[in-house]
Amino acid sequence: MEKVIAGYSVDVTEEGYLTDMNKWNKDIAAAIAKEIGINELTVGHWRVIEFLRKDFAETEKMPTTRRLKNVGNIATKDLYDLFPDGPLLKATKIAGLSKPVSCV
């Protein structure tokens, strides 16, 4: 379905995930973050978001929490502090990626 986010018309799933990661930009990321209760994206948030996008582009696989920790050097505790109540769900949504299969 089509949705306007930060002035951009994009296609999203029923749960609000972008269907085309190439339509993503930082304005859209900030707007999605606000929608899900993260009022400001800090340097820490951007570090996670940029790792997710880069890793997915390179591997064509959705990164796991373990991969964020082991390859991205992002502590699990930090991930939960930055993206409370479902860090991988929230981070991938803000990053313009699809919903991780490991998340219900």
Strand partners, 8: 5
Contacts with 80 (C-beta within 8 Å, 6 or more apart), sequence order? 87
Q: Name the pLDDT band for 103 (thresholds 50, 70, 90).
A: low
Contact (Cβ atoms closer than 8 angstroms) between residue 21 and residue 33: no
Tens digits of residue pLDDT in 43-80 = 999 999 999 999 999 999 999 999 999 999 999 999 99
Greater model confidence, 28 or 102: 28
Catalytic residue numbers read 103
Tens digits of residue pLDDT in 13-49 = 999 999 999 999 999 999 999 999 999 999 999 999 9
